[in-house]
């Protein structure tokens, strides 16, 4: 069975609640009713307004991070159940900005994934090598370590919920997207890692998205690849017109 296609916008620390509402109102109707899965990862305080204004659409609203505890004395943190109550259905975990700027490790990301699953949020787990690691020929080693560290002990039901995102750090926000061939090579390797951990059947099920400077004119080339099941879009998701184009161009591929 062919895997579903996903286009996920990652707004990062952009857009207030009002701006989120205006953005969703400005999206193409065909995008809001799209047959492919269109997700938006928005700032915490924009989840509720975004979920409200998306009610009659197929858009799925989610968060960009959460804590691994159910609740507790963790000043400034946010729990999965709080995100869910606000209207989130999924959560990005292990984004390279979280790893690099906030020091998140694979072990910590793993705990967050387990919590997200308990709290009924679909985890979108990000992995990817940086420029130096690629230059030194360490890409596969890094991907294997991240995938194993984040996912290894999940049970089958949990793993079925996971969406994996391959995001080479050197391609994020730089305008230097990986070529479709290079991305496919990494995606095939990620799928192989999942097969080693969970078996071939699971590897065939798990959606693997590409992220890193995706634009309306590059998305079709990426999605034509066997192992690329969607895209995670940062900068280009901030403009409703550009994001609409990315969704519509994706729809027409598979």
Residues that bind ligand PGA (CB under 6 A): 10, 167, 172-173, 211-214, 232-236
Give the length of the chain: 254
Beta carbon nearer to ligand PGA, 62 or 211: 211
Beta carbon nearer to ligand PGA, 79 or 245: 245
The least distance separating ligand PGA from the CB of residue 40, rounded to whole angstroms, comes to 12
Beta carbon nearer to ligand PGA, 79 or 127: 127
- Eight-class DSSP state of 237: G
The least distance separating ligand PGA from the CB of residue 233, rounded to whole angstroms, comes to 5
| Greatest Cα-to-Cα distance within the chain, rounded to the nearest angstrom | 49
The least distance separating ligand PGA from the CB of residue 55, rounded to whole angstroms, comes to 26
Task: Round to whole Å and give the CA distance between 185 and 192.
Answer: 11
Beta carbon nearer to ligand PGA, 10 or 244: 10
Q: How many other C-beta atoms can be found within 10 angstroms of the C-beta atom of residue 107?
A: 10
**H or E element at residue 200:** helix 200-205
The least distance separating ligand PGA from the CB of residue 62, rounded to whole angstroms, comes to 13
Task: Round to whole Å and give the CA distance between 148 and 157.
Answer: 17
Task: Round to whole Å and give the CA distance between 210 and 128.
Answer: 10
Give me the residue whose beta carbon is nearest to ligand PGA. 234
Tell me, yes or no, if 58 is annotated catalytic. Answer: no
Chain centroid to CA 198 = 20
Tell me, yes or no, if 167 is annotated catalytic. Answer: yes
Beta carbon nearer to ligand PGA, 60 or 172: 172
CA–CA distances in Å: residue 223 to residues 4, 8, 172 = 11, 13, 18
> Of 129, 133, 167, 184, which one is the catalytic site residue?
167
Task: Round to whole Å and give the CA distance between 211 and 1.
Answer: 24
> Of 95, 110, 129, 245, which one is the catalytic site residue?
95
Structure tokens at 254: 């598979």
The least distance separating ligand PGA from the CB of residue 177, rounded to whole angstroms, comes to 8
Tell me the sheet residues that pair with 92: 124
Buried b or exposed e, range 55-76, using 16+ CB within 10 angstroms: eebebbbbbbbbbbeeeeeeee
Tell me the sheet residues that pair with 37: 6
The least distance separating ligand PGA from the CB of residue 178, rounded to whole angstroms, comes to 11
| Residues noted as catalytic | 95, 167
């Amino acid at each position: 069975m062919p895997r579903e296609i996903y286009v996920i916008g990652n707004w990062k620390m952009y857009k207030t609640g009002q701006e989120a509402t205006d953005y969703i109102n400005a999206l193409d109707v065909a995008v809001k009713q799209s047959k492919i899965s269109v997700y938006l990862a928005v700032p915490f305080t924009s989840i509720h307004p975004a979920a409200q204004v998306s009610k009659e659409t197929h858009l799925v609203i989610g968060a960009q991070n959460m804590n691994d505890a159910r609740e507790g004395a963790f000043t400034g943190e946010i729990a999965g159940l709080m995100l869910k109550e606000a209207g989130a259905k999924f959560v990005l975990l292990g984004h390279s900005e979280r790893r690099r700027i906030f020091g998140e490790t694979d072990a910590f990301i793993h705990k967050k994934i387990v919590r997200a699953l308990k709290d009924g949020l679909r985890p979108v787990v990000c992995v990817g090598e940086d420029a130096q690691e690629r230059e030194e020929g360490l890409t596969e080693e890094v991907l294997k370590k991240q995938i194993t560290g984040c996912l290894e002990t999940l049970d089958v039901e949990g793993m079925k919920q996971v969406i994996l995102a391959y995001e080479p750090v050197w391609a994020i926000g730089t305008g230097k997207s990986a070529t479709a061939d290079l991305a496919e090579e990494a995606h095939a390797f990620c799928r192989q890692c999942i097969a080693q951990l969970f078996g071939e059947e699971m590897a065939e099920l798990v959606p693997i998205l590409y992220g890193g400077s995706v634009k309306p004119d590059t998305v079709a080339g990426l999605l034509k690849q066997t192992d690329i099941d969607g895209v995670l879009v940062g900068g280009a998701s901030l403009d409703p017109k550009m994001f609409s184009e990315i969704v519509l161009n994706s729809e027409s591929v598979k």
